Structure 1
Amino acid sequence: MQRRKFIRTAGIGAAGVAAASTVAAPAIAQSMPEVKWRLTSSFPKSLDTLYGGSELFAKLISEMSDNKFQIRVFAAGEIVPGLQVADAVQNGTVECGQTAAYYYFGKHPNFVFETGLPFSMNQRQYYAWLEFGGGHELINDFYKEYNFRSLTFGGTGCQMGGWFRKEIKSMDDMKGLKFRVGGFAGLILERLGVVPQQIAGGDIYPALEKGTIDACEWVGPYDDEKLGFNKVAKYYYYPGWWEGASVGSLYINNKAWDSLPKTYQAMMEAAAGRVTSWMVPKYDAGNPAALRRLVAAGTELRPFPRTVLEPCFLEAYKYYDELAAKDPKFKKIYDNMKAFRADENLWFRVAENTFDNFNFSMSAQGR
């Protein structure tokens, strides 16, 4: 109000105010350096939520910087294959990359933590651990060995258990299956007789169609419908216990990050935060209709029986304890997460779970 009064009493009219505004914006923009980066994604363009997150990110950066900071996005395979994003960022081939950290657990088991440890927490709990439980600090401290840092970059919520050509009634039905599955789930299932396969998203359908694999999991109905898995597998199982939460990663080369002005670093953090707040709701909004279409087209929806879930859970935590006993780096993050998980589950059992169970039961009655 005081500024407006000053303008009026100084005799500056509307035209003068407009002129002042048009001078100010370019002056700010001129103080910003022109920066051009490349972002390589692990995902194909057809996935408008995962890959679309990178497009949204680049758009926001451009708008916030008045086009001074431009990030060009490349889909999987355009610069490097989808499973080589971490290497491309580490060696500086690109400045940044969108990926799922657990693709690289072969480098070290700790890469599983940012995406989601099987049977650990749901999406909200996982975000809470990363932001306020020390998760992100521990993970980025580990990433120093690989010459990059990470920003949380969206997520999917709890995923589906995948597409199978036959019914799964017990672990006996899983034995010998060549199953495309990401991250630690493959290691856990391998201990129980499954033959895990790690394949990038755009390559899964032809492998399933040709019989190179017997079953596959990806994300959920919205993406799975786009990838066409229902055309070559009939049974659709849930839940994807390996990703009760799934968190995306934006890897940024450390040298490239350090070269940015603080203003641009803040823009990247803000834009990544917007992608994170955008992605899960987009999946939540799109999954119900996609699931209805899949079922209408002949897909048979099945829950994994407890005779599958319980052995997998027990084997998972047996494996984690073994890793923690021999790998101090794994133990450092695992112990922190496990303690946080215990508190979160106690809290969610009190209010969230009680409300959800009651509300869902009423909805099932058509009320």
Structure 2
Amino acid sequence: MTNRRDFLKKAGLATAATVGATSISAPYVHAQSKTPIRWRLQTYAGPALAEHVIKPSIDAFNKAANGEMEIELYFSDQLVPTGELFRAMQRGTIDAVQSDDDSINAPVDVSVFGGYFPFASRYSLDVPTLFNHYGLKEIWEEAYGEIEGVTWLGSGSWDPCNFVTREPIRSIEDLKGKRVFTFPTAGRFLSRFGVVPVTLPWEDIEVAMQTRELDGIAWAGITEAYTVGWADVSSYYLTNNISGAWAGSYFANSERWDELPDHLKTLFRMCMDSSHYYRQHWYWWGEAHYRTKGGKLELTSIPEAEWQTIEDEALSFWDEIAEQSERNARVVQILKDYRSTMQNAGPPYRYS
């Protein structure tokens, strides 16, 4: 709270910066002599998770920017509550955001597809494939082009969505009544099976599990459960997931983005891609590593025939979302076409 108060007092004020004199070569003298551009970027992730999902790329950007620009990284809810991030960015209170559209209440129809849209993906590579080769990128650009003040910069994939719980889940019946921290759209879908979605600040989740305010978490895969400490306050991990990858994006205040010279825009996009690539192999490693060598969580499964009931229900959910707008209908049709292509392609794209 102290950090947030200090930040709000200073928001909108120019920040003075002194660059120390160093021995540098001629091409960089002009850049080093200027006051650097400063951005505040807030991620959805807490400190331990941010060490993997964004911090390395921001550190690399600050180094490569060579004094021309510096991005100050803030963690989940540190300056602005996650649900208010979009509006804060739109007002210029913060300059950029890394999150999913769903969690930050982005005022676009396609926001329901951000985060964990049920069964939209089976593997992490599905997300960049859908955006770069099946037309989702153009649809997102169209949607955010209608919103003043915020520029959508691109999307990538994170980890799958599995349940981490205090009590074992071995059937759909076991889901009933479970109070679960999850994403808005995922919670809306899971409530069809008796799950009670709970919204809490990210940093409160571990304590809520200990105090039994929560029965479980459906916010991540097993890599994050171990990385952020949730494996220490849980006992079981359900191997069935409702999505193979979280779809998250980078956004920026449009005025601040437009002010950047082209070479810094290019550098930022390259660092976004670096972040996307790191997560691809980090999560792919972690999901297998912690299942086999984690040692803290017992694995449980719902039989595939029974789990198919949930996957089938997702298709009905897709149709309901498609009815909300013409653009959503286009996205759902792309997901259906993609699903059919992957199933027809067979292994290793789909095994069932």
The two structures have a TM-score, normalised by structure 1, of: 0.79
- 3-state SS in 2 of match to 1:123: coil
CA contact (8 A) 1:156 1:247 kept: yes
* Alpha-carbon distance between aligned partners in 2 of 1:143 and 1:209, rounded to the nearest angstrom: 40
Three-state SS of the structure 1 residue aligned to 2:265 is: helix
Match of residue 322 from structure 1: 320
Partner of 2:251: 251
Deviations 1:173-226 (A, max 9, x none): 212221222242211111232211233432211112112121112323332123
Q: 2:17 matched to which residue of 1?
A: none
Aligned to 1:364: none
- Structure 2 unaligned blocks of 5 or more: 1-23
Q: Does the aligned pair in 1 maintain the 2:90–2:149 contact within 8 Å?
A: yes
Contact 2:342/2:350, CA 8 A, preserved across alignment: no
The letter of the residue matching 2:47 is: K
Aligned to 1:5: none
Which of 27, 41, 46 is matched with 1:25 structurally? 27
1:127 CA drift (Å): 0.7
Aligned to 2:63: 63
CA-CA distance at 1:46 after TM superposition:
1.7
Deviates more, 1:250-259 or 1:97-106: 97-106
Counterpart of 2:168 in structure 1 is 167
| 2: CA distance, partners of 1:31 / 1:317 | 57
Work out whether residues 41 and 85 of structure 1, in 8 Å CA contact, stay in contact via their aligned partners in 2.
no
Aligned to 1:184: 185
Q: Which letter does structure 1 place at the counterpart of 2:80?
A: V
The match for 2:311 is 313
The structure with the largest alpha-carbon Rg is: 1
| Alpha carbons of structure 1 residues 164 and 62: separation in structure 2 relative to 1, 3 Å | closer
Question: Counterpart in 2 of 1:202?
Answer: 203
User: In terms of mean alpha carbon deviation, does 149-158 or 266-275 score higher?
Assistant: 149-158
CA change 1:118–1:28 in 2 (3 A) is farther
Instruction: Confirm whether residue 112 of structure 1 aligns to residue 112 of structure 2.
Output: yes
Pick the aligned partner of 1:342 from 335, 340, 343.
Answer: 340
Q: Which residue pairs with 2:157 in the alignment?
A: 155
- C-alpha separation between the residues in 2 aligned to 1:325 and 1:97? 29
1:279-331 CA distances to partner (integer Å, 9 max, x unpaired)?
Answer: 22122334444344543x4x211123235522221222112212212422321
> 1:234 aligned to 2:239?
no
State the Cα distance separating 1:24 from its structure 2 match: 4.2
Match of 1:130 in 2: 131
Shift of residue 277, structure 1, vs aligned partner: 0.9
Describe the superposition over 1:68-88 as per-residue Cα deviations: whole angstroms up to 9, x where unpaired. Answer: 111000112321123332232
**Structure-2-length-normalised TM-score:** 0.83
8 Å contact 1:43–1:76 — kept in the other structure?
yes
Q: 1:165 and 1:98, CA in 2 relative to 1: closer, same or farther beyond 3 A?
A: same
Q: 1:151, 1:272 within 8 Å by CA — same for their partners in 2?
A: no
List alignment gaps of at least 5 residues for structure 1. 1-21, 358-367
Q: Out of 68-77 and 83-92, give the one that drifted further.
A: 83-92
Identity between Structure 1 and Structure 2 (%): 21
Structure 1 runs (4+) greater than 6 angstroms displaced:
none
Q: Measure, in 2, the Cα distance between the counterparts of 1:110 and 1:154.
A: 15
Please identify, of 107-116 and 60-69, the stretch whose mean Cα deviation from structure 2 is larger: 107-116
Contact kept? 2:35, 2:68, Cα under 8 Å:
yes
Q: CA deviation at 1:134?
A: 1.4
CA distance in 1 between counterparts of 2:140 and 2:193 reads 29
Question: One-letter code of the match for 2:38?
Answer: K
Give the SS at the match of 2:143: helix
